[in-house]
Chain A
Amino acid sequence: MRSFTYEKVASPAAAATAIASTSDAKFIAGGTNLLDLMKLEIETPAHLIDLNGLGFDRIERTSEGGLRIGALVRNTALAADEKVRRDYGLLSRALLAGASGQLRNKATTAGNLLQRTRCPYFYDTNLPCNKRSPGSGCAAIGGVTRSLAVIGSSDACIATHPSDMAVAMRALDAVVEALRPDGQTRTIPIADFHRLPGDTPHIETALEPGELITAVTLPKPVGGTHIYRKVRDRASYAFALVSVAAVVQRDGSGKVAVGGVAHKPWRVEGAEKALANGARAFVSGLLADAKPTKDNAFKLTLVERAVASVLAEVKG
């Protein structure tokens, strides 16, 4: 690991000032992704700004009847929160399907959204990777691509976003609250938060350099049946091959996002009209522009079957 200086900030203003005044600085929250990558020297910040003194650890009702989740709320606390379990079961289920008990005790809401890809070539610093070193090429294309994207990818990068929580948040229409280094606050709908790789796979979200996530809000509960179906190589403590986050209403309408297929949680609102006609009809719209590789074409079938099993479970 490269050497770095460290400071712990006590207010969002201090965090914004710290990040604006230091080049090569990074925020650290739970540290479970950043430190992993720093050990491999994939991330090499010269300065760490520890956010754990900020508070931001509350889950509160919003005036619209939704929920405001502080950026530093741990994944364990979020999954176990009674309001979340009751009204946003999908979110609890997605969190509980991710990582391990130990990791969820540290992992934060913001850190989870910002965790980096699990593309195996991204982790191998001997190989080219446009995400790790922009312009170097992509070792994954033409390589072993079983775990990689089937849709929304580019000639520069075919990585997926690994978060389970983010897929549930996409189906729940979450909104990210952020604070710019200049002190301005803004909100970013989750649909626009994660980006497709395009020519700049190293730019993964709509956040500007140094922008701090302060909270994630959820709109008021929509009812329905909440199901998170994660398909992986082992039953626990593994990333998704594909996952389905669904909120389905009695009349068959619903909101469905899919993980493990793209550089961001994948949802096509226009395709959801077809949900009542079954999994095949829906998925043919959802993944209409898919460009799988030979290795990962199985994901298309897997998504369809996972959606079918979710719809069957809803019917009971």
Chain B
Amino acid sequence: MSNTGDPHISRRNLLIVAGASVAAGAAPGSARAQKPLPMGPAASEPVTTKVGMIVNGASRSMEFDTRTTLLDALREHMHLTGTKKGCDHGQCGACTVIVDGQRINSCLTLAVMHEGSSVTTIEGLGTPGNLHPMQAAFIKHDGFQCGYCTPGQICSAVAVLDEIKAGQPSHVSGSLMGAIDLNEAELRERMSGNICRCGAYSNIVEAITEVAGRPA
């Protein structure tokens, strides 16, 4: 069966529309529920859909190919190139951003899955004239060399301090129920999802320690 026939394409658009309206909470159920149709072989033409999200406090609404990752949406479509692509497979943390208060790898999620999400990137944490305390601490402690991993490190570090504040234990926490001791081992474990090819790890730990309010 050909993928180029009109019925196929119009059905595809229908699905996207159904998906978007459900995502917005407007229409429960989906159009396909009433009229199931067999799907052809893997779709070959690009399928696009409109997605609205809040990025660094501003509303953005754009048309994306369903395949667009949140990372590519930020970098290629919104031109927020602070967030970096290292591995594109969840293995390095360079693409870390904060979505609805939680740090995630933006390379392993789709833009279409983030209708209504609030995204904070390194550009949203602070500006050159008004640095976030974590950005200032990374500069003060030389928490980088080439800087490629740094936006991800900083987004991760900001979220890590919130996770500790919320009482979330880690792999190295001595007790699952007790208070979390904010020591070097804790910070290294919690930051292990951010790889630094330049090996700035010890300075990164010092920067985070200072922001956490303990002498580095």
Contact = CB atoms under 8 A, between A and B. Distances in A.
Interface stretch (B76-84, B88-96, B130-138, B143-151): B88-96
Interface in B21-60: 22-23, 28-30, 32-33, 36-47, 49
B139 interface: no
Given A3-B45, A103-B90, A46 B29 contact: no
A32 interface: yes
Given A100-B193, A103-B193, A7 B30 contact: yes
Contacts of B123: none
A105 B101 CA distance: 10
A143 B115 CA distance: 45
Contact of B160 (A8, A10, A23, A101): A101
Contact of A7 (B16, B69, B192): B16
Interface in A20-48: 20-25, 28, 30-32, 35-36, 39, 44-48
B93 A85 contact: no
A236 B115 CA distance: 33
A164 to B, nearest CB: 10
B121 to A, nearest CB: 14
B169 A102 contact: no
Contact of A101 (B29, B69, B103): B103
Interface string B58-84: 000000011101000000000000000
Interface size class of A (residues with CB under 8 A): 35 or more
Contacts of B188: 236
Nearest to A38: B67
Contacts of B168: 76, 79-80
A100 B103 CA distance: 10
Contacts of A23: 38-40
A47 B40 CA distance: 10
A284 B5 CA distance: 62
B113 A24 contact: no
Contacts of A102: 90, 93, 96, 103-105, 156, 193
B163 interface: yes
Contact of B42 (A46, A105, A237): A46
Contact of A10 (B22, B37, B43): B22
A5 B102 CA distance: 27
A18 interface: yes
B108 A4 contact: no
A50 B30 CA distance: 12
Given A3-B42, A5-B66, A105 B102 contact: yes
A44 B23 contact: no
Interface stretch (A90-98, A192-200, A288-296): A90-98
A65 interface: no
Given A17-B36, A93-B176, A101 B193 contact: yes
Interface residues of B, number: 64
Given A35-B108, A52-B113, A47 B39 contact: yes
Contacts of B36: 17, 20-22
A280 interface: no
A30 B188 CA distance: 25
B29 A14 contact: yes
Contact of B112 (A6, A96, A99): A6
A143 B18 CA distance: 47
A85 B193 contact: no
A76 B171 CA distance: 12
Nearest to A36: B89
A53 interface: yes
A6 B32 CA distance: 12
A236 B41 contact: no
B151 to A, nearest CB: 13
Contacts of B12: 5
Contacts of B66: 3-6, 48
A30 B41 CA distance: 25
B30 A100 contact: no
Contacts of B118: none
14 contacts: A3-B44, A3-B65, A4-B66, A4-B67, A8-B115, A36-B89, A50-B113, A99-B193, A100-B93, A100-B193, A102-B90, A103-B90, A103-B193, A106-B108
Given A93-B176, A100-B90, 9 more contacts: A2-B42, A4-B43, A6-B15, A21-B37, A22-B39, A35-B110, A47-B15, A50-B23, A101-B159
Interface of A: 1-11, 13-14, 17-18, 20-25, 28, 30-32, 35-36, 39, 44-48, 50, 52-53, 76, 79-80, 85-86, 89, 92-93, 96-97, 99-103, 105-106, 235-237
